[in-house]
Amino acid sequence: MSGLGAEAARSVSDYIRAELAEVEPVGSGKLIGRAPVAPHLRSAAGGMCTGALLTLIDFAGGFDAGLASLPDGWVVTTSLHARLLATTHVGPLRVDAEVARSGRTSVVTPVTVHDEGAGDAVVARAVLTSAVLPPEGGPPQWARPARIAVGGGAADPPAMPEWLGART
């Protein structure tokens, strides 16, 4: 997420249909997000495919870590450890991220995903570690409390492998 500005954030947000919001008070290190289990992201098992779920976790955890690194830098994910607990999801999925440690060179952010449509069942637990880097031109500017809203995106987006340009 290095140098993630509003335009790049909206592109990911539009594709996975995720909305993120910094929890007040600003600087608390907490973020909450929601995403439907959209048809283009469903796996054969019926839930959000693993790649999309990990993208959602990285998107929320990385954005939370980036906000914690301001005003001096922004972040790039260096590791993501996740345990996926459910493969079928009703949705919407709620993502809770809270910075556990924020230092000069790295940020550690635990992330939990719940299926609100399945009685808040835990879908995944993860820990994201991000390196703090001073981006060329300075870190992105965000109005606080920061929010990323779905802007619309394609009406019928392609499946994840096609969106990423992956080939077998």
Phi, psi angles (nearest 5°) of residue 63: -65, -40
* pLDDT tens for the chain, residues 1 to 168: 334 455 555 588 889 999 999 999 999 999 999 999 999 999 988 899 999 999 999 999 999 999 999 998 999 999 999 999 989 999 999 999 999 999 999 999 999 999 999 999 999 999 999 999 998 889 999 999 999 998 766 678 888 888 888 887
Given this model, what pLDDT does residue 3 score? 44
Contact 123, 89 (CB under 8 A): yes
Query: Per the confidence metrics, is the pTM higher than 0.85?
Result: yes
CA distances from 126 to 42, 96, 156 (A): 20, 10, 29
- Predicted local confidence at residue 8, as pLDDT: 54
SS3 assignment for 81-114:
EEEECCCCCCCCEEEEEECCEECCCEEEEEEEEE
Residue 143 CB contacts under 8 Å (≥ 6 apart), including other chains? none
